[in-house]
Amino acid sequence: MAMSKDELVKREIFNALGSDKSGIEMRIFVESSNEDQKMFSDGGLTFGLAGVAYGSCDCAFVKKQAWSDPFNNKTCEYTPVMAIEATAARSSGSSGNAQFQRFHHALGAVRNGALGVYYLRPGKLGIRPELFLMASKASQIEPGNYLITESLDVLKNILAKPYGSKEWVEAVEKEILDQKNKAELWFKEKYGTLANFAKRRSTVLSDEYVLKHAGRMSRNFTDSSQRAGHIAVGEMYLTKYLFSELGRPMYYLFPRMTDQDFSQLDLKKAVDKEWHLLRNESGIKLISLDGLYGVPKEISNGFRRLKDTPLKGKALREYNHLVVKLVELINLKRVGINP
């Protein structure tokens, strides 16, 4: 039986980085396995904080040293050093926001103080520049560093240095600085200002808050054939990290959904990592159409008519028309966010 793309990428990582390192060990499950979905402290490759788990990684480098897992306050004998989430998506048509969908997997390791790596295997498509920006901002804000790369040689160079040494620190800092410079140059050339980025990326900037909006519906989170939930999480982190410097409350609006939809998903998807992250991310609050006041009946009824309709063709045009009207009213402060 042929290996899946995920298994092939894991095998590539193992072959490139699997030799003995100075003072650290590789943890990887190359064959099909659910072991990576276990929490790190239970021998797996999933990281979390205060009961909130992130997606599993594909590989980690660990040091045999006692460590208390902040997900469950469980002490284990290994400390995470580097965690790698890998994808071959660039060879299968993922050039858009779909590349964001695994960003949160390695973010769990970063928030645990380790070096998190999102490895996008080289392919015919480029890496979305926003990923470099997200990782750069995360490296500034979180306890650990976050690196986006398409080169296993970069990781091999870091791992060749003794962990914790001046050489290790300098190698990591060089890659993080290069990433930061690349991200900031792209943003300056593409958008110039946060206000321009907001206008082009479904985001409202007010003096009081930041409001990101997206046309998600309940089915996006209940139908296993769809990946919109993963992408929604990626978009949430893009918003959070990019606008963090403003120091304003942030909201993530799904206008086609209601508070009742949220409550039903809270029950149906109680153990779903993506929905749990959307509902529990500090500093950004998920709200439905019910989270707004002052919405004219014709607009709210319009969104409700579209709540279960795929956004394409006529439905997409109608949705975009409603969003334009809603954003205009928000900017005029005729519509606001419920306290």
Q: Predicted confidence band at 41 (pLDDT cuts at 50, 70, 90)?
A: very high
Half-sphere CA count of 288, side-chain side, radius 13 A: 18
Q: Indicate if 159 and 210 belong to the same structural domain.
A: no
Q: Indicate if 53 and 132 belong to the same structural domain.
A: yes
Q: Indicate if 150 and 28 belong to the same structural domain.
A: yes
Q: Indicate if 94 and 215 belong to the same structural domain.
A: no
Q: What is the pLDDT of residue 200?
A: 93
Q: How far apart are CA 29 and CA 13, in angstroms?
A: 11
Q: How far apart are CA 307 and CA 319, in angstroms?
A: 10
Identify the domain boundary among 188, 212, 237.
Answer: 188
Domain extent, residue 206, equals 194-337
Q: What is the DSSP string of 138-203?
A: HHHHSSS-EEEES-HHHHHHHHTSPTTSHHHHHHHHHHHHHHHHHHHHHHHHHTSSHHHHHHHTTE
Q: Indicate if 246 and 133 belong to the same structural domain.
A: no
Q: Indicate if 216 and 67 belong to the same structural domain.
A: no
Q: Indicate if 106 and 13 belong to the same structural domain.
A: yes
Q: Predicted confidence band at 7 (pLDDT cuts at 50, 70, 90)?
A: confident
Q: Indicate if 198 and 93 belong to the same structural domain.
A: no
Q: Indicate if 150 and 74 belong to the same structural domain.
A: yes
Residue 89: how many CB atoms within 10 A of its CB? Answer: 20
Instruction: Work out whether strand 250-254 and strand 210-213 pair parallel, antiparallel, or are unpaired.
Output: parallel
Q: How far apart are CA 232 and CA 218, in angstroms?
A: 12
Q: Indicate if 29 and 151 belong to the same structural domain.
A: yes
pLDDT, tens digit (0-9, with 9 covering 90-100), for 88-131: 878 765 556 778 888 999 999 999 999 999 999 988 888 999 99
pLDDT, tens digit (0-9, with 9 covering 90-100), for 157-172: 999 999 989 999 999 9
**Total tally of structural domains belonging to the chain:** 2
pLDDT, tens digit (0-9, with 9 covering 90-100), for 212-265: 999 999 988 887 655 677 889 999 999 999 999 999 999 999 999 999 999 999
- Reading the block at residue 32, the tokens are 């099909």
Q: Indicate if 88 and 209 belong to the same structural domain.
A: no
Residue 119, exposed/middle/buried by CB under 10 A (0-12, 13-18, 19+)? buried
Q: Predicted confidence band at 3 (pLDDT cuts at 50, 70, 90)?
A: low
CATH number at residue 80: 3.40.91
Q: What is the pLDDT of residue 238?
A: 95
Q: Which residues contact 14 (CB under 8 A, 6 or more apart)?
A: 26, 28, 30, 59
Q: Indicate if 198 and 295 belong to the same structural domain.
A: yes
Q: What angle do CA 56, 261, 326 make, to 5 degrees?
A: 105
pLDDT, tens digit (0-9, with 9 covering 90-100), for 297-306: 999 999 999 9
Identify the domain boundary among 137, 153, 188.
Answer: 188
Q: How far apart are CA 285 and CA 287, in angstroms?
A: 6
Q: What is the pLDDT of residue 226?
A: 59
Identify the domain boundary among 166, 188, 210.
Answer: 188
